[in-house]
Amino acid sequence: MLQEKKELLQKYLVCFSVAALIAVAVFAIDGFFTDDIAVNIQILSDGFSVAGILLLLFAGMLFISSEGALIGIGFVMRNVFLAFIPMGRAKHEVYAKYRERKLAEMKKQSDHCVLFTGLLFFAIGIIFSVIWYLNFYQMPV
């Protein structure tokens, strides 16, 4: 039990570190601390939003992959590769058996650290956007 919690905490720490590195890279590209407070809040919003969206997209790809939606692409790529290898066609198997074997090999992920970390960073980005909008956006009269 303690080992499982430790592994889950480690996964969240890795996800948080990756998201933080993405956010810091966006901060550096946009030139953080070089302009006034309004621009810095926009840069904070951009950094957190980009990191959050990238992690959410990655979580979506993990979900699609774990459901077996990409098995057909793997089957086609395997057969194309085997077509160029001498005697590679001898290893050919029917798609139904290939799919059955791949689904049996797959393991379901029960933790959603990428999804929750992406949602957290995206929410922080939205909060900075709202702060900028309420304090610095000026409607033309």
77-135 residue pLDDT tens:
888 888 788 876 677 788 888 888 888 887 777 678 999 999 999 999 999 999 999 98
- Residue 81 within any structural domain of the chain: no
- Residue 99 within any structural domain of the chain: no
Q: Is the pLDDT of residue 139 over 70?
A: no
- Encoded tokens for 115: 């999804």
Give the number of domains in the chain: 1
Give the residue carrying structure tokens 């949602």: 119
Cβ(109)–Cβ(11) below 8 Å: no
d(CA 86, CA 50): 46
Whole-prediction pTM value?
0.80
- Residue 73 within any structural domain of the chain: no
What residues make up the domain containing 110? 2-68+106-134
- Residue 21 within any structural domain of the chain: yes
- Residue 55 within any structural domain of the chain: yes
d(CA 80, CA 86): 12
Task: Give me the pLDDT at residue 71, please.
Answer: 85
Nearest to 12 by CA among 23, 1, 20, 2: 20
Question: How many Cβ atoms from other residues are within 10 Å of residue 11's Cβ?
Answer: 16
Return the exposure string of 95-112: e unless at least 16 CB atoms fall within 10 Å of the residue's CB, then b: eeebbeeeeeeeeeeeee
* Better-predicted residue by pLDDT, 22 or 38: 22
- Residue 92 within any structural domain of the chain: no
